[in-house]
């Protein structure tokens, strides 16, 4: 899947400067961020001008955030895996990633693949 490769490249190339010093070195924070980035990237792609599918994208992103990501971050914090402020840093970073994806130019087939990814993970 070419779309997934592009998203993964974006994930790898994004700078971890968005993290606070204590968050950037935490492996649990990096792991959560890397897992959620493709989902937020797909949401951004669907909200872009080329796809123009914002309603669906936001609905699926909100489901993922509310039902999957947030409970996991609360559990991680309660288990002492990272400081509470790192959950806010993760959230801010993911939404920034989504905003950046909205501005990128992707081929038209990226819309279908992004939609497929969101449908698969946010039912």
Domain map (residue ranges) of the chain: 27-121
pTM passes above 0.85: no
H helices, E strands: number in the chain: 7, 0
Is 16 in a helix, a strand, or coil? helix
Q: What is the predicted pLDDT for the residue at 71?
A: 95
pLDDT band at 17 (very low <50, low <70, confident <90, very high): very low
Q: What is the predicted pLDDT for the residue at 34?
A: 87
Is 49 in a helix, a strand, or coil? coil
Q: What is the predicted pLDDT for the residue at 2?
A: 57
Q: What is the pLDDT of residues 20-45, one digit of tens each?
A: 567 888 899 989 988 899 999 999 99
Q: What is the pLDDT of residues 68-92, one digit of tens each?
A: 999 999 999 999 999 888 988 899 9
């Amino acid at each position: 899947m070419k779309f997934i490769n592009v998203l993964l490249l974006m994930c790898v190339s994004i700078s971890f400067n968005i993290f606070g010093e204590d968050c950037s070195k935490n492996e649990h924070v990096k792991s959560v961020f890397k897992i959620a980035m493709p989902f937020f990237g797909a949401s951004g792609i669907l909200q872009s001008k080329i796809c123009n599918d914002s309603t669906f994208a936001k609905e699926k992103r909100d489901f993922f955030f509310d039902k999957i990501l947030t409970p996991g971050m609360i559990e991680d914090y309660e288990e002492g895996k990272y400081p509470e402020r790192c959950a806010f840093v993760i959230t801010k970073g993911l939404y920034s990633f989504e905003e950046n994806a909205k501005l990128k130019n992707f081929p038209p087939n990226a819309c279908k693949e992004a939609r497929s990814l969101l449908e698969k993970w946010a039912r």
